[in-house]
Structure 1
Amino acid sequence: MKIAIVLPGGVDRGGEERVIPVFLALIERLARVHEVHVFALHQETAPGTWPLRGATIHNIGEGRTVWRAIGAVIAEHRRAPFQLVQAIFSGHCSFIAVAAATYLRLPSAVHIAGGELVVLHAIDYGGRRTWRGRLREAVVLRLADVVTAASQPILNALRAMGIDARRVPLGVDTVAWPPSTPRSRGEGPAHLVHVASLNRVKDQDTLLRAVAKLVHAGVDVELRMVGVDTLAGEMQRLAQRLGLERHVSFLGFRTQRELRPLLASADLLVMSSLHEAGPLVTLEAAVLGVPTVGTAVGHIAEWSPNAARAVPPGDADALTEAIHSVLDDDGLRMRLAAEAQRRALAEDAEHTASLFLTIYGELAAGSHRASLVSERDG
């Protein structure tokens, strides 16, 4: 089977920086079985093609990206036919995938992986903030043959729109991230880690205020924040105003190889996002035996209260209390870690690939049956 996958990026030719690890894990596993062509919209500014993890990457680049991407899928199909087109992320990716598949009379699949269904006007975030976005999602998601999403909150949002969808979590590659047994806390300060780009939707403002409340209550904590700063130092200045210079360090971007020991050494992963389909780092931390306390989004919401602890987004007081309660009861923290790890290992990268391959088999069989009916009727 020849498969086209449309995604925004995360497939850098070096395979280490500017990548989304779960994308690479999925692509590699699909490419073991089928011929995979990935159409990346904005990995590089100029068009280009390169091999990665057994697949062929077609970078579309800047300038009329949507229409050139549709043309690139069609052109590759004419060289040798695709059997289906998959979008990872909706928005422009799903429009491209469904438009190309419709033109070529192929089945299409869309995986919701970000803020495509969200409306957060206060921070100008979400794919459904405009009438064009709402119309695009309503039409494209109904035209797709299969819609999938990583977590139950996203499935609930889809069903509220009248879209039936399947849960397909994007699991961790346990070859690259070997599991570690959950460990008890040691002496000294509690080690917290936060992994996310510094931006509005991740709401590090709420996290820093929660940590400040912990410090002022006498809790000995150290927070490491890992991620690209898109806010021009705003969070660093907030940490200074809150008196957190000795308690918070901003580490910037870290490769997966650098991130793994940082996560493994933490007592808790702490997240404060206003929206997530995952977050994927919750699964990575769980594989390493580290539980998550965070806002009620994505996997954190669906795992709470037995495999994570979740609080309402934007509520610094509730986040403070949840972090404190887990740090204050190491038996609870260890139980959360064990259950989180069990769930993450049950839904690892192999499981993800298996679910997608099952869907692709169903789509190919349905397409084959449709073609037989068409030929017979003709």
Structure 2
Amino acid sequence: MRLALVLPGGVDRSGTDRVIPARLWLLERLARRHDVHVFALGQDDAPGEWDLLGARVHDVGSAPRKLRRLLACFGAQHAVARFDVVHAFFGWAGAYAALLGWRHRLPVVYSPSGGEHVAMRDIGYGMRCTLVGRAGAAVAAAGASRVTVATPHMQRLAAARGVRAERVPLGVAVDRWPAAPLRPRDRARPARLLHVGDLRPVKDQAMLLAAARRLREAGARFTLDIVGRDTTGGALRRSADAAWLGDIVRWHGPLGRDALRTLVDEADLLLVSSRHEAGPLVVLEAAVAGVPTVGTAVGHVAEWAPDAAVAVPVGDADALARETAALLDDEPRRLALAVAAQRLALGMDADATAAAFERIYAAL
């Protein structure tokens, strides 16, 4: 098949910087069996083209008249050989894909992967915060032949907007992120807690720090590694909770895959504090590495609780601290959660993701 993937970015020519691993793993697998072209909506400021993992990337750039360049670039490639399916990830990519589908009479698969169905106006997050965003989300859904999401949590959000979505998790490539045997916690040393996510309001790291402070005040011994790009201008690091915690918290910034894997392998628990998640992938990555998650009831955490994760209410720092402490004090339960989570994550790996999408493409 000849496939056109429409993405907002995450496909840098380096294959390592400014990438979304789950999309690359899918891209790599599809390109083994199909002619895959990626239309990126602003990976770089200027338009460009390159090969990546067996696919051809056409970046239309982020400068003005992006849509015009996308239509022209797609049209030129479609004239060379007809595309069979257009597949878009994220809301505005889905809206642009809908226009391509209507213009060229092609089926479109749309995979909302973020805040397409939410409106968190207090932090300006979600397409439904604005009239333009709501219109874009509506166009994306209206132009789709099939809609897929990664979790039941996202299915429920889509259904509330009248969109029927089927579940296709975006899994981990175990050839690049291999499974690890479970590791009992060394109770003689402080617990190793890990959080992975860019520092921004929807990830609610302010709540994470508040929970960490409560956990320390209750007498728990731990370190907290925080990995992610800081979009707050250092505000979180200057907060009262961060100052109180001091060197208990280790701020790493963005890390490469090898450095991140080292931290995951050393962790006893992954903590998720987000107000909204479509996934996140890091829950699956931690599970593959034998690390269970305590987090807010979003995405995979909500899906897996209570047997393979521990879920707490969104925004509840007391609950996050309490459940983290309880799990650190119950090693048999922590290991049981790790076993269940690893089994689930390996059952929805990147090979399963690619196969599921190929079945959808073939049915269109």
* TM-score range for the pair, normalised by the shorter chain length: over 0.9
Match of 1:144 in 2: 144
Match of 1:50 in 2: 50
Q: Distance in 2 between matches of 1:198 and 1:85?
A: 32
| Runs of 4+ deviating beyond 2 Å | 239-242
Q: Deviations over 1:206-234 (max 9, x none)?
A: 00000000111110010000011111111
Q: Deviations over 1:324-375 (max 9, x none)?
A: 1111101111011000000000000000000000000001xxxxxxxxxxxx
- Check conservation: 2:98, 2:139, Cα contact below 8 A: no
- Check conservation: 2:209, 2:242, Cα contact below 8 A: no
Match of 1:295 in 2: 296
Task: Give the C-alpha shift of residue 15 in structure 1.
Answer: 0.6
- Check conservation: 1:153, 1:297, Cα contact below 8 A: yes
Task: Give the C-alpha shift of residue 131 in structure 1.
Answer: 2.2
Match of 1:114 in 2: 114
- Check conservation: 1:13, 1:51, Cα contact below 8 A: yes
Query: Which letter maps to 2:271?
Result: V
Match of 1:273 in 2: 274
Q: Distance in 1 between matches of 2:240 and 2:144?
A: 45
Q: TM-score, normalised by structure 1?
A: 0.94
Q: Distance in 2 between matches of 1:251 and 1:202?
A: 16
SS of 1:289's equivalent?
coil
Query: Which letter maps to 2:155?
Result: L
Match of 2:341 in 1: 340
Query: Which letter maps to 2:57?
Result: I
Percent identity over the alignment? 48
Q: Distance in 2 between matches of 1:147 and 1:164?
A: 7
Q: Distance in 2 between matches of 1:136 and 1:327?
A: 44
Query: Which letter maps to 2:85?
Result: L
SS of 2:202's equivalent?
coil
Match of 1:30 in 2: 30
Match of 1:209 in 2: 210
Q: Distance in 1 between matches of 2:29 and 2:131?
A: 38
Matches within 5 A, 1:340-359: 340-359=341-360
Match of 1:80 in 2: 81
Task: Give the C-alpha shift of residue 53 in structure 1.
Answer: 0.4
Matches within 5 A, 1:364-375: none
Match of 1:376 in 2: none
SS of 1:277's equivalent?
coil
Q: Deviations over 1:31-52 (max 9, x none)?
A: 0110000011121111000000
Greater shift in the superposed pair: 50-59 or 240-249: 240-249
Match of 2:160 in 1: 160
Match of 1:71 in 2: 72
Query: Which letter maps to 2:332?
Result: G
- Check conservation: 1:198, 1:230, Cα contact below 8 A: yes
- Check conservation: 1:6, 1:87, Cα contact below 8 A: yes
Task: Give the C-alpha shift of residue 58 in structure 1.
Answer: 0.7
Task: Give the C-alpha shift of residue 116 in structure 1.
Answer: 1.1
Q: TM-score, normalised by structure 2?
A: 0.97
Query: Which letter maps to 1:356?
Result: F
- Check conservation: 1:239, 1:245, Cα contact below 8 A: no
- Check conservation: 2:30, 2:354, Cα contact below 8 A: yes
Give the gaps of 5 or more residues in structure 1.
364-378
Q: Structure 1 residues 259, 99: CA separation in 2 closer, same or farther (over 3 Å shift)?
A: same
Give the gaps of 5 or more residues in structure 2.
none
Q: CA RMSD in A?
A: 1.1
Matches within 5 A, 1:16-27: 16-27=16-27
SS of 1:51's equivalent?
strand
Match of 1:178 in 2: 178
